[in-house]
Amino acid sequence: MSAGAVIVGGHLLLALAASVLPLQSVVAQDSNAILQGASGAHWLGTDSLGRDVLSRTLHGGQPSIGVALVAVLLAATLGFGLGTFAALAGGWLDDAIMRVVDVLLAMPSLLVLMLVASFIGREPVVLVATLALMYAPPIARVVRGASGNVLTRDFILAARLRGASRRAIVVGEVLPNIAEVFITEVAMQFTWILLAFSSLSFLGLGTSPPTAEWGLMISDARGFITVSPLPLLAPVVMLASLVLGVNALVDRRAQAELS
């Protein structure tokens, strides 16, 4: 098992187990234990409101990973559908779809997310839908290119001659041949979505206090780094390690495919 798989699996396990582990409350405040260092009572110390950093760090993976997973699944579905449809349609329709994709790719994702969160709302459904819409175009672009190459192969012509439907061609012929490229791109977009959502929370436009979320924790702790660094370092390490773990997992898959 690769290091990337261990890191990603560990993060998923901790996020799932955080609710059942005997951890302290993520919202309970203790005015007598503000910005304390690591101790037997608080393994990673406390934050500026006296809340347990370990508990908040482990619980912080739930909204971050949960939103990113749902958003990337929606983005993957939309991107795959647009990419394969454009490749199958060809002609002017293919060009029109790709020009729309190019326009969406040119838009600054974080700025769009900030505008949506400011004017429409920052409910999870709104943020997930916006994240999926903004990060589906790169998936669609990659799928369109990979599908276009596959659709020129002889076995696609054979499938069409035997009367296979477009759906059967996509599911039975195209998808298996672009699976590696598709999975790699989706994994990379997961990291971007994770960072985008954490950035929104850091800016005060994502998760609302007192919810434990890594970006929000980093924002709350940045002013006290010289007094107590653990409340800042803990979510930073978790966020960075998850991104690095996904990247390592993707690199391992790519190396295995090349070999």
Q: Which amino acid is at 152?
A: T
In angstroms, the first-to-last Cα distance of the chain is 17
Burial of 24 (0-12, 13-18, 19+ CB in 10 A): middle
Name residue, tokens 């990060």. Answer: 135
What pLDDT does 258 receive?
53
pLDDT tens for the chain, 259 residues long, are 678 889 999 999 999 998 888 888 888 888 888 988 888 888 898 998 989 999 999 999 999 999 999 999 999 999 999 999 999 888 889 999 999 999 999 988 889 999 998 888 888 899 999 999 999 999 999 999 999 888 888 888 888 888 888 888 888 888 888 988 999 999 999 999 999 999 999 998 888 888 899 999 999 999 898 889 999 999 999 999 999 999 998 887 666 555 5
> Using CA atoms, how far apart are residues 148 and 234, in angstroms rounded to an integer?
44
CA angle 145, 106, 88 (to 5 degrees): 25
- Domain ranges across the chain: 3-13+46-258
Q: Which CATH architecture has domain 3-13+46-258?
A: Orthogonal Bundle (1.10)
Q: pLDDT at position 198, please?
A: 94
The residue type found at 83 is G
For 46, list phi and psi in degrees, rounded to 5: -130, 160
Q: Measure the CA–CA gap between 259 and 254, rounded to whole angstroms.
A: 9
- Cα–chain-centroid distance for residue 99? 25
135 touches 113 (CB < 8 A): no
Residue closest to 140 by CA, chosen among 197, 196, 97, 193: 97
Q: How many whole angstroms from its chain centre is CA 239? A: 11
Q: What is the pLDDT of residue 255?
A: 63
* Structure letter (DSSP) for residue 48: T
Q: Would you give the DSSP letter of residue 222? A: G
Residue 76: predicted pLDDT: 96
> Which helix (H) or strand (E) element contains residue 203?
none
What is the C-alpha to C-alpha distance for residues 134 and 145, in angstroms, rounded to an integer?
19
- Torsion of Cα atoms, 253 then 61 then 58 then 204, to 10°: 140
